[in-house]
Structure 1
Amino acid sequence: MNSDIGQIKYPPDIPARSFHRRLFDPLLAIGLLYVTVFVSGNVFTGNHVVLSILVFFISSTVFGWLDPWREAPQANFLTLARSIALAWLAVVLALLFFGYAAGLSSLFVRHETQFWLVATPAFLLFAQIVLQKAGMGLSRASVRSVVLVGVNDLSVKLAERVDDNPDLRMEISGFFDDREPSRQPEDKRVPLLGRMSDIPTYVRANNINTVFISQPISAQPRIRTLLNELQDTTASIYFLPDIYAFDLIQARFDSVAGLPAVAICESPFTGFNGMVKRASDIVLASIILLMLLPILLAISIAIKATSPGPVIFRQRRYGLDGEEIIVYKFRSMTVCEDGATVVQAKKNDQRITRIGGILRRTSLDELPQFFNVLQGRMSIVGPRPHAVAHNELYRKQIKGYMLRHKVRPGITGWAQVNGYRGETDTLDKMEARIAYDLDYLRRWSLALDMLIIARTVKVVLARDGNAY
């Protein structure tokens, strides 16, 4: 078996933005649109509402990619202006494309909309500078001094991430540990300050705000002693649980009926993220189906005219939470297999019809699944659904296989744009596909979804040789 399976090569990291920053630019642009329409003496119509929805999803994605926030507070005026101008130009181009597709062309010729398109980047730049200045003043007053108890992989990782993220406004003074230096990781960036018995004195003398304890359960007596001594200080105390020995999916802390709980494996689409994901699916699927309606009709006629059988192929797949769903595809083969044994399509497969070969190579056979998206059975981006027969086979052979069903299956996915599209004729290939599916669950963001959609278009236009 290939030992490289699961060793995923990541693209440049997509910045993880906090909740308020992720909403700031889109809501500011939408607010300016409303004010512009109101001041011009016009009525904010349903078309403006649709435009606002497009602005929200497009700008949150584009500004998530370019993210001028990452350059603050070091960025100068010209750097910020260039970053915001480029981001807004991308938003305007996308708005024009989707706006005309959605029948909003009349809005873009109105003077107040044109003024809004031109004025928004200047308004965003002004707001950016104001918030930057306020943030600089706040950061000077609120940098927390931190010490780490225990030198291990987890505490070293925390130190590295604090060092790489100045927005956290933390400054780590160093580590404390009773172990010999030879037993400690060599790649730590901050110094070893002493033993655990030295911590209370150091915290009091240096006005330390926060103490992170990263110690195993076996160290409980020493931890209890340390906690008793730290009660004589004003430091905040946190534990770093060593749960990262497990393969985590959207791990987080929560509470159930007032009792603390740690989520080890959870869907990324809970709460606000779930609403964002579903809303983006509905908006994009509706726009795409309206744009492609003539193509759908032409394909249906071609299938019916060139081979006997139904136009739409219905197959049972596993969906959200492992429940069976019916997935639609344009029929591309002479058979409609959906039993206990399903043979995957192979290169030069004799079952593939003449028109079916074209549909499969261009992925046009997947277009009816946008109706599955509107039904709520699927998402535009997510792990590709497998036939029920394949699920029953691979769930016994691949660890974590069924975790991919914690989200709705997708028309395209992270695995498909990374080379695992089409036939998976070996266990190694299927393991690699599942590794990418689980990685998608760990790393999900709206920006990642848009990246996958863009890369899917590129793969389809390149006529990927794995699809047949």
Structure 2
Amino acid sequence: MFRHTARCLDALFVIAGALLAHWTRFPAPLELTDTERLLMAFNCLLVLLLFPVFGVYRTWRGKSLPEMLARVAAAWLMAVATGLILVFTLHRMDAVSRLWFAYSTVISGVLIVATKLAVHVALRMVRRRGLNYRTVAIVGTPGFTRMLLAHLAQAPQAGFRPACVFDTSLEEPEMVNTRIGHLPVLTEIDTFVAKVREEQINEVWLALPLSEEHAIYRFMRAFQHDFITVRFIPDTRGMSLLNHSLVDVLGLPTINLTDAPVSSPQMWPKLMFDRLFALAVLVVLAPLFLAISVAVKMSSPGPVFFTQKRKGVDGHTFDIYKFRSMTVHQESAGHVTQATPNDARVTRLGAFLRRTSLDELPQFFNVLLGQMSVVGPRPHAIEHDDLYKDLVYGYMYRYRIKPGITGWAQVNGYRGATRKVEKMETRVKFDLFYIQNWSFWFDIKIVLITLTKGFIGRNAY
């Protein structure tokens, strides 16, 4: 019933957009030309045909709001483009006002998207108040089950209410807890199936490891004659350092184990911020750049900038820029000697630059060139990558995103030289936490902490 109503409303919005556009363009008598009526009819029909293909009317319970709005907008633009092609094929474009067409496209699109947004927000509010929910029975071990329950508790707007739990652990039945929170815990599959049927539970979630194929089939067979939604939520905690997004490859559902943690469209705000912030820094601090350049040149013979190969996103190498802080010297091939306290190679000016992190300022050129980000895991010397990649689990996963000038590890005190494996392990844990929990506002938080705490570090020699 709801879907039929939604389809009728979308068709009415197409008509309303066309009429409002005509009234806006021609305030006098409201008379559409025959071609405009034809195009309006085409668009109504295309909305009814194409919107279901784009999945506009499927349930969006517990799913991404931006994805839903993007799908609706894409479906509307496709309908408009198809209608335009049909009118063009009939050689009737000369009878269509371009301004009217643009106005009607925008007005109808806004009406359709705004209505979908309003309905989605209203449903979220209703579900937060305990209405319009679907009951869920969870099958899994207590640890993963508790994690799922915590996610459900934090997202009441999704409209899922847990009803019971089936414990698949290998413990004896008398050793299993009879309740998790306020939920009953069952251990006999027949009792579990009977409870799901008696209470008319809407969904069964199989929160099981990928290796539990037999258990998955067992529960699927148990509910094969019931009109119950059975979902498989793989327990991949054993691979917690990896990304597990589900994608479609050749029509097959595929779990990404080591792909980039965030999709490209989600990264657009970060990319825009990086370029604008880097450009602002380079313009505002241009006099400081000039002063440091002159001071470096006068402090000791050699170039102003020090360059070194570092790994960027997906392991692609680039030249990182720094103000030179040491006297010119030659390292043996394949070896990089980290600076130590009172290192004779570090100039007096260089010691100040390293202590205050001013030597890192030229890396904003790397950001402007797209090789680095303002915030991200710090790139290490390639020789150090070769050393730590086999000693620290998840070390190379840091390079799934662009390296940064500052990062979550740095604002938590992990910057400068790292001589112990334990310290590098801790730094990598901070980097992986940042990658798995990235958001644009997390970046802003790190930038603000960096500006507030300053750039001075005890471990920078």
Structure 1 length as normaliser, TM-score?
A: 0.67
Q: Secondary structure at the match of 2:255?
A: strand
Alpha-carbon distance, 1:256 to partner:
0.7
Q: Secondary structure at the match of 1:465?
A: coil
Q: Could you say which residue in structure 2 is the equivalent of 1:12?
A: none
CA RMSD of superposed structures (Å): 2.6
1:325 alignment partner, one of 318, 334, 340: 318
Q: Could you say which residue in structure 1 is the equivalent of 2:180?
A: 188
Alpha-carbon distance, 1:381 to partner:
1.0
Does the CA contact (< 8 Å) of 2:209 and 2:236 recur in 1?
A: no
Matches within 5 A, 1:39-118: none
Alpha-carbon distance, 1:350 to partner:
1.6
2:241 alignment partner, one of 241, 248, 252: 248
Matches within 5 A, 1:222-241: 223-241=216-234
2:433 alignment partner, one of 413, 435, 439: 439
Q: Could you say which residue in structure 2 is the equivalent of 1:199?
A: 192
Cα distance in 2 for partners of 1:275, 1:465 equals 35
Q: Classify 1:211/1:377 alpha carbon distance in 2 versus 1 (closer, same or farther; 3 Å).
A: same
Q: Could you say which residue in structure 2 is the equivalent of 1:148?
A: 138
Q: Could you say which residue in structure 2 is the equivalent of 1:376?
A: 370
Does the CA contact (< 8 Å) of 1:268 and 1:274 recur in 2?
A: no
Cα distance in 2 for partners of 1:311, 1:276 equals 33
Cα distance in 2 for partners of 1:453, 1:256 equals 37
Alpha-carbon distance, 1:130 to partner:
10
User: What percentage of residue pairs aligned between the two structures are identical?
Assistant: 40
Q: Secondary structure at the match of 1:424?
A: coil
Does the CA contact (< 8 Å) of 2:178 and 2:186 recur in 1?
A: no
Q: Secondary structure at the match of 1:344?
A: coil
Alpha-carbon distance, 1:309 to partner:
0.9
Q: Secondary structure at the match of 1:146?
A: strand
1:296 corresponds to 2:289? yes
Q: Secondary structure at the match of 1:415?
A: helix
Q: Could you say which residue in structure 1 is the equivalent of 2:380?
A: 386
- More RCO (CA 8 Å, sep 6+): 1
Residue-by-residue CA offset, 1:223-248 (whole Å, 9 max, x unaligned): 43432342333321111223211233
Q: Secondary structure at the match of 1:423?
A: coil
Q: Could you say which residue in structure 1 is the equivalent of 2:443?
A: 449
Q: Classify 1:183/1:318 alpha carbon distance in 2 versus 1 (closer, same or farther; 3 Å).
A: farther
Does the CA contact (< 8 Å) of 1:267 and 1:407 recur in 2?
A: yes
Residue-by-residue CA offset, 1:399-451 (whole Å, 9 max, x unaligned): 22211111111111111111111111222212221222222211111111111
Q: Classify 1:224/1:134 alpha carbon distance in 2 versus 1 (closer, same or farther; 3 Å).
A: closer
Q: Secondary structure at the match of 2:379?
A: coil
Alpha-carbon distance, 1:196 to partner:
1.5
Q: Could you say which residue in structure 2 is the equivalent of 1:426?
A: 420
2:272 partner amino acid: A
Cα distance in 1 for partners of 2:442, 2:407 equals 10
Cα distance in 2 for partners of 1:304, 1:222 equals 70
Does the CA contact (< 8 Å) of 2:173 and 2:187 recur in 1?
A: no
Alpha-carbon distance, 1:366 to partner:
0.5
Q: Secondary structure at the match of 1:294?
A: helix
Cα distance in 1 for partners of 2:280, 2:370 equals 16
Cα distance in 2 for partners of 1:143, 1:312 equals 61
Q: Secondary structure at the match of 2:306?
A: strand
1:172 corresponds to 2:162? yes
Q: Classify 1:187/1:348 alpha carbon distance in 2 versus 1 (closer, same or farther; 3 Å).
A: farther
Cα distance in 2 for partners of 1:222, 1:431 equals 37
Q: Secondary structure at the match of 2:285?
A: helix
Cα distance in 1 for partners of 2:282, 2:151 equals 43
Q: Could you say which residue in structure 1 is the equivalent of 2:257?
A: 264
Q: Classify 1:421/1:217 alpha carbon distance in 2 versus 1 (closer, same or farther; 3 Å).
A: closer
1:342 alignment partner, one of 319, 336, 340: 336
Q: Secondary structure at the match of 1:282?
A: helix
Q: Could you say which residue in structure 1 is the equivalent of 2:307?
A: 314
Q: Could you say which residue in structure 2 is the equivalent of 1:56?
A: none
1:160 corresponds to 2:150? yes
Does the CA contact (< 8 Å) of 1:148 and 1:212 recur in 2?
A: yes
Does the CA contact (< 8 Å) of 1:211 and 1:237 recur in 2?
A: yes
**Which structure has the larger Rg?**
2
Cα distance in 1 for partners of 2:159, 2:440 equals 26
Unaligned runs of 5+ in 1: 1-127
2:133 partner amino acid: V
Q: Secondary structure at the match of 1:377?
A: coil
1:428 partner amino acid: E
Does the CA contact (< 8 Å) of 2:124 and 2:159 recur in 1?
A: no
Cα distance in 1 for partners of 2:199, 2:344 equals 76
Residue-by-residue CA offset, 1:357-403 (whole Å, 9 max, x unaligned): 11111111111100001111111111111112222222232222211
Q: Could you say which residue in structure 2 is the equivalent of 1:39?
A: none
Does the CA contact (< 8 Å) of 1:249 and 1:438 recur in 2?
A: no
Q: Secondary structure at the match of 2:454?
A: helix
Alpha-carbon distance, 1:131 to partner:
8.3
Q: Classify 1:216/1:363 alpha carbon distance in 2 versus 1 (closer, same or farther; 3 Å).
A: closer
Cα distance in 1 for partners of 2:448, 2:317 equals 29
Q: Could you say which residue in structure 1 is the equivalent of 2:395?
A: 401
Matches within 5 A, 1:351-362: 351-362=345-356
Does the CA contact (< 8 Å) of 1:423 and 1:466 recur in 2?
A: yes
Does the CA contact (< 8 Å) of 1:313 and 1:328 recur in 2?
A: yes
Does the CA contact (< 8 Å) of 2:411 and 2:446 recur in 1?
A: yes
Alpha-carbon distance, 1:276 to partner:
2.7
Q: Classify 1:348/1:182 alpha carbon distance in 2 versus 1 (closer, same or farther; 3 Å).
A: farther
Alpha-carbon distance, 1:201 to partner:
3.0
Does the CA contact (< 8 Å) of 2:241 and 2:432 recur in 1?
A: no
Q: Secondary structure at the match of 2:322?
A: strand
Work out the number of aligned pairs and report it: 340
Q: Secondary structure at the match of 2:180?
A: coil
Q: Secondary structure at the match of 1:349?
A: coil
Structure 2 length as normaliser, TM-score?
A: 0.68
